Structure 1
Amino acid sequence: MNLVAILDHFGGLQPTEWLGYVASAFVFTTFSMKTMVPLRVIAISSNVLFIAYGYLHPAYPVLLLHLLLLPLNYWRLRQMLTLVRETEAAHDGDLDMNWIRPFTTTRAMTPGEVLFRKGDPANEIVFIMSGSLRIAELGIVVPPGEVVGELGMLSPDKVRTQSAVCVDGGQILTITYDQVRQLFFQNPKFGYYFMQLSARRLFENMTRVQTEIETLRGVAKRTEDFQPAEP
């Protein structure tokens, strides 16, 4: 078929046939999409155009196919938009603990109780609901609403890097690392929260180490400055 024949063919198309070509172009566009939300939007548009084409032409197999694909693409788009909203909510606010309670074990802690020691096997995360914990090696107190023990999940040897001692009586929630891994994939808000929590704790540790290094350098410099001259 030469170019003139192709132009004649397209010039003689009926409006319903143009619908089929435009819908096909939308399908082709979906294969070039790099992100899921625009892909689903274009896919829904192509479904609508193909439904109109299949009804008006008529082409019932095409009509039936896209009548089935339209609700599927719409459902997937809703899922992706929900995922985006939950991720933004996790970024902007704290994690709501109500939904996570069924996956946790609640227990009381007494003053002076050692939750775990440095070098112990790490297998759970601790959410402090009331009371407070003292991290012995760092000399800091962790207040209610905070989380401890999350970095053990990321460490290669899966051991505690610090010790946690109860300062006063309170209540904690514990969740095992295996349950955390399951929730990480089942609930995107929790997964994003866990990544934020781990990153924040790593940056805090880096800042603390850097401060200690600067303090030691300052002490060493002052020692050199006040060192008596040799006779």
Structure 2
Amino acid sequence: MEFITTHHTIEAVGWIAVLLKLATFSMTSMVWLRVLVILSSTCFIIYSALFQIWPLLAIEVILLAVNAYRLYELIALRRLVTHMTDESEPDFSAAMAYGKKRVIQSGDVLFEKGDPVDSLYYLAEGRVEIEGQNVTVPAGNIFGEMAFFNSSAARMATVRCVEDTVVYELNEKRFTRLQYEDPKFAMGVMRLVTKRLVANAAQTQET
């Protein structure tokens, strides 16, 4: 009698796992989707271990680890978005790990207005001037990113180095990869682009 009761209990755990798995198809929130998948995998692990269904046990252990990590990423991204304020300075230094290093002499032009768009730049050392806009970009910032969001696909201004400069050049492929792999960088770019668009709009209204 005790064996039958135990058997039914284990089987009930398996059915709970199935129901949780089915419930994931109705989730619209990625966080709750991951939570339900983790709970389902946990129940399947208990069920398959007690019934010694080794293939099922192996796949559910792997899925548990993968979904636990994905849940951690989602929570970390939410915390990042919550704690980022307009006063905090974005950190673009991750571009150095993805970009191609270039050393440019003072007075040299990095690109000219009308040039085709092929890269954006992280300014590691030195200073550059955006001609015609009376804007100087100091080290620690990115520039040239606006062209990636412009349908004309042409540079909107000439950029000249006013000091000996070290930049890291990222083409569109590397830029896209960095945004996916570093959410903090992506959020910084979004904030910067938004600020520059608002500033440009305000300048246009004044003129």
TM-score (norm 1): 0.70
User: Which amino acid is 1:26 matched to?
Assistant: L
Query: Any residues of structure 2 matched to 1:62-211 within 5 Å, and which?
Result: 64-85=55-76, 88-89=79-80, 92=84, 94-95=90-91, 97=93, 99-210=94-205
Moved more, 183-192 or 148-157: 183-192
Aligned pair in 2 of structure 1 residues 129, 16: CA closer, same or farther (>3 Å)? closer
Could you tell me how far apart the structure 2 residues matched to 1:54 and 1:102 are?
Answer: 44
Gaps of 5+ in 1: 1-12, 214-231
> Tell me, what secondary structure is at the counterpart of 2:121?
strand
CA distance in 2 between partners of 1:87 and 1:16 (Å)? 37
2:169 partner amino acid: T
Once residues 193 and 151 of structure 2 are traced to their aligned partners in structure 1, the CA distance between those partners, rounded to angstroms, is 15
Cα separation, 1, equivalents of 2:97 and 2:45:
45
Match of 2:4 in 1: none
1:109 Cα deviation from its structure 2 partner: 2.9
**Cα displacement string for residues 78-127 of structure 1 (whole angstroms, at most 9, x for unaligned residues):** 13423542574477363352x43243232333333222221122211122
The structural deviation recorded for 1:149 is 0.5
Mapped to 2, the partners of 1:164 and 1:187 lie a distance apart of 27
For 1:181 and 1:50, the matched residues in 2 are separated by: 37
Contact 1:134 1:165 in 2 (8 A): yes
- Distance in 2 between residues matched to 1:55 and 1:170, nearest whole Å: 61
2:26 is the counterpart of 1:44 = no
Unpaired runs of 5+ in structure 2?
1-6
Corresponding residue for 1:6?
none
Q: Which has the larger radius of gyration?
A: 1
Distance 1:48 1:144, change over 3 A: closer
Q: 1:207 to 1:16 in 2, by over 3 A?
A: same
1:170 and 1:20, CA in 2 relative to 1: closer, same or farther beyond 3 A? closer
Deviations 1:35-64 (A, max 9, x none): 2332222222222223333455x4x44x64
Q: Is the 8 A contact 2:92 2:142 kept in 1?
A: no
Pair 1:53 & 2:47 matched: yes
Change (3 A) 1:95 1:17: same
Question: TM-score normalised to the size of structure 2?
Answer: 0.77
Secondary structure of 1:153's counterpart equals helix
Contact 1:37 1:77 in 2 (8 A): no
Q: Give the Cα separation in 1 of the matches to 2:204 and 2:65.
A: 50
CA contact (8 A) 2:31 2:74 kept: no
1:168 counterpart SS class: coil
Runs of 4+ in 1 over 4 A off after TM superposition: 86-91
Secondary structure in 2 matching 1:43: helix
Q: Is the 8 A contact 1:106 1:174 kept in 2?
A: yes
Question: Identity across aligned pairs (percent)?
Answer: 27
